[in-house]
Amino acid sequence: MEDGDIICIASTIISKAKGYTRNLNDVIPDDRATRIAEKTGEDPRFIQVVLDQACDVLIETPFTLTEVSCGHVGVRSGVDASNVEDGLVITLPADPMKEAEEIRTEIKDLTGKTCGIIVTDTCGRSFRRGQTGHAIGWSGMSAIRDFRGDSDLFGHTLEITEEAVVDEIAGFANFIMGESNNGVPAVHFRGIPAWTGHNDIYFKEGEDVIRKALKKV
């Protein structure tokens, strides 16, 4: 470990280590979960866990798109039945930013080195097939590299360019981790140049035009 290294850790391994799982045999679906499950063809107990984890439901069908307490918006609240024992489902860490900070502090205490931590989750993307890694928690870095106010190669002032660096790193980490049965829970990066910016990766209420459109449907 060296100062400036970045470690990406799959949220799944954190959730399993911290016991962020639910036993479906202990879940009793309510009327809403049952109604949604009838339309999606999913286990109503699974949908109930999805609703329990959500602070907002953007759409119910053909899949459940939700926001969780940390601000992350994704399919089924990030609840996952893969890579876990039968009958259990994994839920996202309630506070992935806190998890990232705790891991970073622990590594500092153990090694004396100051690194960055990114907690990743696999998500789909609007208008495209396939999934990729996204950052849901991070510590020791800014989420966004802000180019606004800089000039391009032709001297034009950039007005909207904000690079989601933590997502870009998480995406490549996900490629290394793989899916299905690869069993790689973390990726260690070295040599990534430092950057400055801000942490406002989630749109504030009123800024997100897609959310506004979905709410009208």
Name the packing angle between helices 11-18 and 96-111 (round to 10°). Answer: 90
Q: Do 25 and 2 share a structural domain? A: no
Residue 217 has what pLDDT?
Answer: 62
Q: Do 117 and 61 share a structural domain? A: no
Taking 90 as the threshold, does the pLDDT of residue 181 lie above it?
A: no
Q: What is the value of pTM for the model shown?
A: 0.93
* Alpha-carbon 57 to chain mean position: 17
Strands 6-10 vs 186-189: parallel, antiparallel or unpaired = antiparallel
Decide: residue 63, CB within 10 A, 0-12 exposed, 13-18 middle, 19+ buried: middle
Task: Summarize the confidence of residues 155-173 as an average pLDDT.
Answer: 95
Q: Do 116 and 31 share a structural domain? A: no
How far CA 143 is from CA of 20, 113, 114, in Å, comes to 25, 21, 17
Distance CA 114, CA 189 (A): 13
Q: How confident is the model at residue 19 (pLDDT cuts 50, 70, 90)?
A: very high
Residue 214 has what pLDDT?
Answer: 82
Residues in contact with 109: Cβ distance below 8 Å, sequence separation at least 6, in sequence order? none
Is residue 165 in some structural domain?
Answer: yes
Taking 80 as the threshold, does the pLDDT of residue 67 lie above it?
A: yes
Most confident listed range (4-8, 62-66, 70-74, 204-208): 4-8
The domain tally of the chain equals 2
Q: How confident is the model at residue 14 (pLDDT cuts 50, 70, 90)?
A: very high
For residues 137 and 126, which has the higher predicted lDDT (pLDDT)? 137
CATH code assigned at 54: 3.90.1660.10
Is residue 7 in some structural domain?
Answer: yes
Q: Do 187 and 114 share a structural domain? A: yes
7: closest CA among 169, 133, 193? Answer: 169
Is residue 213 in some structural domain?
Answer: no
CATH code assigned at 185: 3.30.1330.100
Taking 90 as the threshold, does the pLDDT of residue 183 lie above it?
A: no
Q: How confident is the model at residue 212 (pLDDT cuts 50, 70, 90)?
A: confident
Looking at 50, 67, 92, which one is the last position of a domain?
92
Residue 132 has what pLDDT?
Answer: 93
Domain that holds residue 27: 21-92
Q: Do 125 and 140 share a structural domain? A: yes
